[in-house]
Amino acid sequence: MFKNIVIAKVDKSYEQPLGLFIDNEFIKSRDEATIESLNPSTGEKIASFYAASEADVDAAVAAARRAFPSWSHTSPEERGILLRKLGDLIEQEKELLAAIETLDSGKPYKSNALGDLDQIISLTRYFAGAADKFSKGEYIPVNKDKYALTLKEPYGVVGQVVPWNYPLAMASWKIQGCLAAGNTIVIKPAENTSLSLLYAAQLFKKAGFPPGVVNIIPGHGGIAGSRLASHPDVDKIAFTGSTAVGQKIMSLAALSNLKAVTLECGGKSPAVIFDDASIEEAVKWTSMGIFYNSGQNCTANSRIYVQESIYEEFLSRFIKHVTTNWTFGEAADPFDNECTVGPVISKTQYDRIQSYIEHAQKNENLKTTQIGAAAPGCNGFFIPPTIVTDVPQDSKLMKEEIFGPVAVISRFRDYGEVIKLANDTNYGLAAAVFTESIRQANRFAHDIKAGTVWVNSSNDEEISVPFGGYKMSGIGRELGQSGMDAYTQTKGIHVNMAKL
């Protein structure tokens, strides 16, 4: 049920769990089906882990249901204590968990994976402190003869489905707030990045979470994910991933027991750079916003609009900055301290991103600049930082989520034009604006149809600030107080003191 894995690049050796985690134990799947996890930087097999069948999902849901009555009646203070213990354990295992993420997902160890773990530790401690603060209801004095109370109560059994681009971080965004609110969980990690969450399962048990409170069931989306979304004994489903799959999740939830749904889906986030902006700052932030995590971010600023008077200067400085700062490193190795751009997650994703680049070059005749190349003989799924310029608004590259290290840049004349361009999308997850005018920034922040707006920065989420999308980018919010509110229902209690 475990495999010894050596990560020589960071001098780590550990026992990787391979089973489903149900009732605080690792077990085989009922049909003993497995999934291979590949190292995207080499294409080599890391391990095979068990894949949940529908029967396994049923078993995990049953375990969560058994655990719910007792768990939901623990005090918020008790739940906070366990989350604090969990945060301490994650901190102790920080370097190993980051190394597993790098091995399994390809994200650069020093510049990316360790940062993800820092956020996870902070987030866990945030919800540990929030457990006894955001769970309170209100007292409403209606009149002298009547008052009302509101209670925030957990849903019950919550199903969660998380993506491959931030395996442990996206799981933590969902798990920690959900536990703080008093729910029990059945969570399905992505098929190709399940290893870090399976390892972290041991930390929940070690922290003292009772059996059945957290159940982790890796498996195929069409089997385990679909069963979880349609399960009649799951009270809520939370999903992060593509819009297309989010639509399926919502449909299954509606057609089963009308369970509550939180969705964080795709994006095509604009970054708008006005001519009064600090070009140096805009270059730094927008390059990070598209090339960090190899562009595999729902909030990546994959549409960059630059005011025409500074367009050429911005483009020149952008290319120079990317050439210097965004690189595979000499060996195209995510464990190399010089590596800031890792491989994309899989051959399927590699081919998909390459098809957009080829479309830009061959079908639309757009100028395309690629910076750097993988080392000769490299078998990993490395795509160089790619910059496509003067892209028309009706281009496929402007309309569709590429989800890779591809910056799409265009120019605009004035505010009226760019706000129309920026809002011309089915998505609305995030947006960024660069300007030294507080009035212009304020106007943009109000006019843009997006759940998150960054002013003079990009992709710097804060765990205390709600996060979620407009339009087809999702439903509901995570992080901050919303990260607990999303997992509670409000009950109103009317108390009459008068006699008829």
Q: CA nearest 185: which of 11, 322, 22, 46?
A: 22
pLDDT at position 375 over 80: no
Tell me what pLDDT residue 81 has: 98
332 DSSP assignment = T
For residues 83-87, give the mean pLDDT.
98
Largest CA distance in the chain: 87
Pick the CATH number of 2-265+475-490 from 3.90.1170.50, 3.90.1150.10, 3.40.605.10, 3.30.460.30: 3.40.605.10
For residues 184-211, give the mean pLDDT.
98
pLDDT at position 485 over 90: yes
Q: CA nearest 3: which of 93, 116, 103?
A: 103
Pick the residue with more confidence: 369 or 372? 369
Kindly report the average pLDDT of the chain as a whole number. Answer: 97
**pLDDT category, 453, cuts 50, 70, 90?**
very high
Q: What's the whole-model pTM score?
A: 0.96
Q: Confirm whether 312 is a catalytic residue.
A: no
**pLDDT category, 373, cuts 50, 70, 90?**
confident
For residues 10-31, give the mean pLDDT.
98
Domain residue spans in the chain?
2-265+475-490, 270-462
Q: CA nearest 279: which of 256, 300, 306, 303?
A: 306
CATH class, range 270-462: alpha beta
Q: Which of 101, 191, 264, 401 is catalytic?
A: 264
Residue whose entry in the numeric block shows the structure tokens 């149809």: 449
Through-space distance between the first and last CA atoms of the chain, rounded to whole angstroms: 67
Q: 456: how many CB neighbours lie within 10 A of its CB? A: 15
Tell me what pLDDT residue 330 has: 81
pLDDT tens-place string over residues 133-177: 998 899 999 999 999 999 999 999 999 999 999 999 999 999 999
pLDDT tens-place string over residues 53-63: 999 999 999 99
Four-residue CA torsion sign, 313, 315, 320, 325: positive
Distance of alpha carbon 383 from alpha carbon 373, whole angstroms: 8
- What per-residue string of b and e applies to 407-417 under the rule 16 or more CB within 10 Å gives b? bbbbbbeebee
Tell me what pLDDT residue 378 has: 84
Distance of alpha carbon 439 from alpha carbon 443, whole angstroms: 6
pLDDT tens-place string over residues 303-354: 999 999 999 999 999 999 999 999 998 888 999 999 999 999 999 999 999 9
Please state, in angstroms and as integers, the Cα–Cα distance from residue 150 to each residue in 180, 315, 493, following that order: 18, 55, 6
